[in-house]
Amino acid sequence: MNAPHRAADASGLDEAERARILAKAALFAPPPMQEADGRRDLVGLSREELADLMAAIGEKPFRARQLWHWIYHQGERDFAKMTTIARPLQRLLAERFVVGRPEVAAQRTSADGTRKWLFRFRDGQQVETVYIPDREEDRGAVCISTQVGCTLSCSFCHTGTQKLVRNLGAAEIVQQFMAARDSYGEWPSPKEDKPRLLSNIVVMGMGEPLYNYENVAKALKILMDHEGIGLSRRRITLSTSGVVPMMDRCGAELGVNLAVSLHAVTDGLRDELVPLNRKYPIAELLAACRRYPGASNARRITFEYVMLKGVNDSEAEARELVRLIRGIPAKVNLIPFNPWPGSRYETSTPEAIRRFAGIVNAAGYASPVRTPRGRDILAACGQLKTESERARRARPAA
């Protein structure tokens, strides 16, 4: 008999695997969202949790709705300015709660308009968040992080050289976007059809989002809530290195756009580049893509493919890629490798990238080449770590 095969989603095997992944994530839980003086941060609570908290101080459920509107629609942080709330309650709220943001440890804007923040949370941990403006239009995507470090160690990724320190909480994930909005003065939340600079979110910063699923899911639900920030799920793209059992849940529960870090067309090479492949090999990964809910020509799955000179960039590999993804509504995002100090790869030549893209394109798949952005401020993919490390070292030890 063949070795047992981790079959489709409904199987008990996947359920057990999901439970294991969630239990492991809990070991890296974030600290409580509380100020040193005990005041609790209201950001990151679900609507129900906020209502419960109001009930606990004897307030009616509509207070929670009002607060939600102030926090997520108006972007207001000062209870005294929440004019629909009576003074005595404003004072009580200010005594017990805060509407938090991370500290901006550093901020830089690149010549191409890319802006990068180094955010510091209450326990001193830092992550980077990047705003990447669209080249042609007045909009852009905020790239948010989900973990401090990463448990996976993809051989071409700089973040992967930093061990997982901890998961980010839902609040910390939402607050990256809120702080980015503060920086651009984009409150209150405009209507969905109104132009705004921070129009999209890509969950492609530090960390593997599907290894911190519960916090990521909670955060994305807050970001998508119609009475608050109100970003539609079509404007959110989550990138995974291929945590197959969680992809099903992500599709069913969140329905955001999916990006998959493929990077190789044989298991042998992918085992080396994305070691998670040993657990969830290419065939299983692609099966999960085929059943991803809502994948259609209007909502394609993005396959990310980092272009490594002489490693994965041949014409034969381009043809194999096309064969592998046949039937999946997809586009292929070719990412020229961004080198970092000590990395063992080189970027493919423009000629190799052009040929590779040509083959993928001719097979009917859009194959945009991602132009490196913000290189001058080390904000391009995979480079997010350097500066936060440097900043950490420069800080005197506690």
Give the footprint of ligand SAH on this chain (CB under 6 A).
Answer: 154, 156-158, 204, 208, 239-241, 261, 304, 306, 335, 337-338, 381-382
Sheet with 330-336: list strands edge to edge: 103-109, 115-120, 126-133, 140-143, 198-203, 236-240, 257-261, 301-307, 330-336
C-alpha to C-alpha distances, 360 to 173, 326, 369, nearest whole angstrom = 35, 11, 11
CA distance 259 to 252: 15
- Residue 275 is classified by DSSP as G
Annotation says 289 is catalytic: no
- 386 makes contact with ligand SF4 (CB under 6 A): no
Name the residue with the smallest CB distance to ligand SF4.
160
Q: Based on the shown chain and the rule CB under 6 A, indicate whether residue 153 belongs to the binding site for ligand SF4.
A: yes
153 binds, among ligand SAH, ligand SF4, none (CB under 5 to 8 A by kind): ligand SF4
Q: Position of tokens 């959110």? A: 236
Question: In the annotation, is 128 catalytic?
Answer: yes
Selected catalytic residue, list 59, 128, 272, 284:
128
Smallest separation, CB 273 to ligand SF4 (Å): 9
Question: Residue 289 or 306: which CB sits closer to ligand SAH?
Answer: 306
Q: From the candidates 150, 157, 250, 381, which is the catalytic residue?
A: 381
Pair of tokens at residue 87: 């003074």
Cα–Cα distance for residue pair 219/207, rounded to 1 Å = 15
Least distance to ligand SAH, CB of residue 320, Å: 19
Q: Which does 306 bind (CB under 5 to 8 A by kind): ligand SF4, ligand SAH, none?
A: ligand SAH
CB 77 within 8 A of CB 255: no
First to last CA, the chain: 58
Nearer to ligand SF4, 211 or 365 (CB): 211
Sign of CA dihedral 261, 263, 265, 270: negative
Whether residue 28 contacts residue 167, with contact meaning beta carbons closer than 8 Å, is answered with: yes
Q: Which does 176 bind (CB under 5 to 8 A by kind): ligand SF4, ligand SAH, none?
A: none
To ligand SAH, the closest distance from the beta carbon of 397 in angstroms equals 29
- Residue 38, exposed/middle/buried by CB under 10 A (0-12, 13-18, 19+)? exposed
Q: Using the rule CB under 6 A, is 150 a contact of ligand SF4?
A: yes
Mask of contacts with ligand SF4, 236-275, x by CB under 6 A?
-----x-------------------x--------------
The C-alpha atoms of residue 340 and residue 32 are separated, in whole angstroms, by 34
Q: Minimum distance between the CB of residue 313 and ligand SAH, rounded to whole angstroms?
A: 13
Tokens of 101: 């943001």
We find the least distance from the C-beta atom of residue 150 to ligand SF4, in angstroms, to be: 3
Residues annotated catalytic, as ranges: 128, 381
